[in-house]
Structure 1
Amino acid sequence: MLLGAIADDLTGATDLALTLSREGMKTVQVVGVPPAGFDFGGADAVVVALKSRTIPAEQAVEQSLQALARLQETGARQIVFKYCSTFDSTAEGNIGPVTEALLAALKDDITIVCPAFPTNGRTVYRGYLFVGDLLLSESPMKDHPLTPMTDASLVRLMQAQTQLPVGLVPRETVAAGSAAILAAIETAKAAGKQVLVVDAISDDDLRSIGLAVSGLRLITGGSGIAIGLPENFRRRRELGPKGETTAFQAPEGRAIMLAGSCSKATRGQIEHAIGAGVPAFRVDPLAIDAGELAPDTVIDWAAAERQKVPLIYSSADPDTVRVAQEKLGRNRAGEIVEHFLAAVAAALQARGFSRFLVAGGETSGAVVEALGVSALLIGPEIDPGVPWTVSLGDRTPVALALKSGNFGSVDFFSKACDLLQ
C-alpha cells in the first residue's frame, strides 16, 4: 500500500476514495477500523471511514490512532486525515485533537490544513474558507444542527482546537508553485510552526501543493488535497499510469432514497424531487420519540410504492430543527432519526431493496452499519465527490450512493437513479 487515509465520516471517505481512484490509484474503502489481517486486495490506497466527526474528542483520537496503526501495519507511506470541505467541527475538535495525535504518532514535525475543494465551490484565501461566494461563517453552514460554523478563519479555528502553533501559506506563495510552497513549509518549520493552513482556489493550486508535500508523513484536508498526491508515487515509479476504471455492476433490485441531512443543498434536492412527482414520506423526530411513528409504517409505505423510487426524509429547515433539538437535545434529535432510517433500510433490504441512495454523513454511517457493509468498491461519479459504490464481502451486495449533505446539484436524486438505468 502506498497511501493510507482516515476520514471522519463515511460520505467524506467515499468522496476521497473517488478522487484517488480517478487519479489512477486502485482504492479500497473500508467501514470502520479493519481487523488485523484484512485483505485489501493489493490496493494502492486504502480509505478508512470512521464516524468520528461529532463524537467526544478523546474517542475520535482513539479511533483515528487505531486506524493509523492498521494502515501502518500494511505499509502505508503517507497518511491523509480527511475532514469535510466546510471544516465541520466545534471549538473542542475534533479536527485539531486528531491532527495533533496523528502527527505525534507519526513522529513528524509539521503538517498542512487545506479543506479546499474548488470543484464544489470550497476555496481558501488568506486563510479564510469560502463556500461559493460566501465566507463559511455567512454560508448555510452557520445553521448546521451539530457543527454550526460561525468563523471562517481556518487559522483561528485550528488554533482553538490544538496547542500546536498554527501558521499560513498565502495565495501568493501557492501561485508561485511547488518549490515556493516547499520553501515556505521549511521556513515555517524552522520558526516553530507545526500546522500550516494553505490557501487554494483552483485544482492547479492543489496539484502544486500535492507536489510540495510529498515528503510530509501526514496531510490533512478535504478530498481535494488528494488530487496531487498520486502523481508523487508515479514520479517515483511506485505507481503505474492511469488505467481504465474498474468495471462496475450494480446488483438488481429495487431502489430507495433516504435523506437525513438538513443542509440547504439537500433540502433543495428534496424539494426538486417532490416537485418532479417523486413519492415522499417525511419522518419527524418528535413523532418517533412520542411513539406516534414506527418504522413499519414507513417500510410498508415504501414497499407499496412501485411506480417511482420513493424518498424517505427527515430534512427540515433550521427553525424546525431547532424546535426538535430544544425538546430532545441536539445530539439525541439526530440520533433518533439516524437509528430510525437505519432500521428502515435494513428492513427494506430484506424485502428486496438493493440500491440505496443516502444523503447525510451521519445518516450514511448508520445505514451502512445496519446493512452490514464492511468495504466498498468505487463506481461511476454522479456529481463531483459522489459516486455510486457496491459493497464487497460475503454478504449479498448492495449499491450505495452516499452523499454529503452539502454536495450535489439540485437534480441529484433523479440523476443518481437514472445513472443505474
Structure 2
Amino acid sequence: MKKLLLAFYGDDFTGSTDALEFICRAGAKAILFIAPPTAAQLNDYPDLDAYGVAGKTRSLSPDEMEKILLPAFETMKATGAKHIHYKVCSTFDSSATIGSIGKAIDCGATVFANTTIPVLGGMPALGRFCVFGNLFAKMGIGSEGKIYRLDRHPSMSKHPVTPADESDLRLHLGKQTAKKIGLIDIIQLKQPVEEINCDEAIVLIDALNETHLLKIGEWMNLQANEKQLFSVGSSGIELALGKYWNEKKVLASISEWQHPGKANPLLVISGSCSPVTAMQIAYAKANGFEEVIIDAIKICTDGVMESSVFDAVNTLLQQQKNVIVHTGPKQTDNLSSEKLGTALGQIAKAAAERSLVKRVVIAGGDTSSYAARAMEIEAVEMIAPIVIGAPLCKALSKNISINGLEVNFKGGQVGSENYFEIIKQGKLHGDTQS
C-alpha cells in the first residue's frame, strides 16, 4: 500500500461523508468504512491515500464512547497514517453526557503521543467561523442564511439533544475534559508557521477564511513531522490538509466530476429535528413529493415499525412518486436515535431490495449512522459533489440489492429549501458541472 496521508473517525455518518467529500475534492483516493478496516480490507484498496470510519459516537455516553474509541484509535494508529482526525460536527454538537468531544480528546491522548492536540474551530466553506475562540454559524449549510453566534443560533441553541449554550469553544470543551485548553487566534495566524505555538494539552485554532486554513494545514504538517498527529475538528481539517497537499503537489485537486444524472423516484428518509430540514420537507411537499409520516414515539417505545408504512412507501415508489418518510411535527425530544434510525434504514433497505429506487437521501446526523447499518452498508465511495458538505456516494455492501445504491447523507443544517429537488436532479455543485 501507499503511505496513508490521513485516517479520520467521524462521530456520525452525515459528518463522515462531509469529511470524505473534502479530502476527495483535494484529489485523494479515499473510502469511508462503517467500522475500522482490517489490514486485509485495506489491502483490497492498495491505491488509497486516505480512509474514514463512519462512527456513531455523537449519540453515545462517555463510557460507551471510550469502549469504542480506544480500540478504534489503536487500529487506526497501526495503519501508519500520518494524520489521525476525530471528525466532529462543524457546530461542535456535544455535551458532557452525550457525544462528548472532550472524552474523544482524552481517548486520543491515551493512544497517540501528541504533545498538544490541535482542535480546529472553524470551517469557512460551510459557513462556520471561529474568532478568538468563539464559534459563529450560518443558518443552513449551502444556503444564504444569516450568521449567528452559536449560543444565539435559531437552530443550534435549540438542538433537541445537545443545545448550544456557549459559543466559546474553550469553555464548551472545558465542560467535557479536565485538560487545559489554549488558543491560536487569528492574530497569531499572521505569524510564520514556525513561530506559532501553544504549550497547553489542547490548542483551539481560529479559522475565518481559507487563507487561514492553508496556514493551518502547513502548521499541522509541521507538527506531524515524522510522527502521527491526532487532531479534532470539522471537515476543516480535511480542507486545510488538502489545500496544503495541493500546494505542495502531493495531491492534485479534482475540479470536474461526471454528472450522476436524475433519480426518479427519489426516496428520502428523515430523522432530523432541524428547522432547516423541516423547511426542505415543506418545499418538497409543495413541489410534488409525497410524504409518509411515521409514529416516532411508538417506534422508540415498542421498537416496531408497522407493516402499513412499508406498504405505503413501496406503493408510492411503484407509482414513480418521490417520497419523504419522516416523523412529522409531533416528534418529541430525546427519542432513541438507534431505534428511529434503524427503523428508517429498514424502510430504505426494503425499497432497494424491491428495485424501486436507485438513490436514497438519509437526513439527520444522530439517526444516520443507525440507518446506514440497518441498510447493511459496509462502506461508501464519493460519486460527485452535489451540495457542499453532503456528497452523493455509492454504497458498498455484501447485500447485492444495496451494493451500488446511490446514497446521500444530509445533516440537519445542510442545504437550501430546494435541497431534495437538487439531489433528485443530481445537479453538481458550483463550478464542478461537467
Query: Is the structural similarity TM-score above 0.5?
Result: yes
Instruction: Note the 1:341-360 alignment, pairs <5 A.
Output: 341-352=344-355, 353-360=357-364
Q: CA RMSD in A?
A: 2.5
Residues 1:387 and 2:391 aligned together: yes
1:363: how far off? 2.4
CA-to-aligned-CA distance 1:174-213 (integer Å, 9 cap, x gap): 2x15x25x5232xx22xxx111111111122112111111
**How far apart, CA to CA, are the structure 2 residues paired with 1:204 and 1:104?**
32
Instruction: Note the 1:198-217 alignment, pairs <5 A.
Output: 198-214=205-221, 215-216=223-224, 217=229
2:240 aligned residue:
228
Paired residues of 2:70 and 2:108 also in contact (CA < 8 A): yes
Query: Per residue, is there more helix in 1 or in 2?
Result: 1
SS at structure 2 position matched to 1:123: strand
CA-to-aligned-CA distance 1:366-388 (integer Å, 9 cap, x gap): 22111211111101111110111
1:375 aligned residue:
379
**How far apart, CA to CA, are the structure 1 residues paired with 2:335 and 2:296?**
12
1:261 aligned residue:
272
CA-to-aligned-CA distance 1:100-144 (integer Å, 9 cap, x gap): 221231111102222412222211111111112211111111211
**How far apart, CA to CA, are the structure 2 residues paired with 1:290 and 1:94?**
26
1:241 aligned residue:
252
1:391: how far off? 1.4
Letter of the 1:131 counterpart: A
CA-to-aligned-CA distance 1:229-260 (integer Å, 9 cap, x gap): 135556676x3433576768689985311111
Instruction: Note the 1:6-405 alignment, pairs <5 A.
Output: 6-39=9-42, 41=45, 42-92=47-97, 94-132=100-138, 133-139=147-153, 140-174=155-189, 176=190, 179-180=192-193, 182-185=194-197, 188-189=198-199, 193-214=200-221, 215-216=223-224, 217-233=229-245, 239-242=250-253, 255-288=266-299, 294-305=305-316, 306-314=319-327, 316=329, 320-321=330-331, 324-325=332-333, 330-332=334-336, 334-352=337-355, 353-396=357-400, 397=403, 398-405=405-412
Change (3 A) 1:85 1:107: same
Of 34-43 and 361-370, the range deviating more from structure 2: 34-43
CA-to-aligned-CA distance 1:313-353 (integer Å, 9 cap, x gap): 1154xxx44xx34xxxx243x44422321221222222213
1:4 aligned residue:
7
Letter of the 1:3 counterpart: L
**How far apart, CA to CA, are the structure 1 residues paired with 2:289 and 2:258?**
30
Of 200-209 and 28-37, the range deviating more from structure 2: 28-37
SS at structure 2 position matched to 1:261: coil
**How far apart, CA to CA, are the structure 2 residues paired with 1:156 and 1:315?**
35
SS at structure 2 position matched to 1:262: coil
SS at structure 1 position matched to 2:178: coil
* TM-score normalised by L of structure 2: 0.86
Paired residues of 1:3 and 1:44 also in contact (CA < 8 A): yes
Change (3 A) 1:292 1:404: closer
CA-to-aligned-CA distance 1:31-64 (integer Å, 9 cap, x gap): 1222342135121011111101121212212322
For this pair of structures, how many residues does the alignment match? 402
SS at structure 1 position matched to 2:187: helix
**How far apart, CA to CA, are the structure 2 residues paired with 1:346 and 1:135?**
39
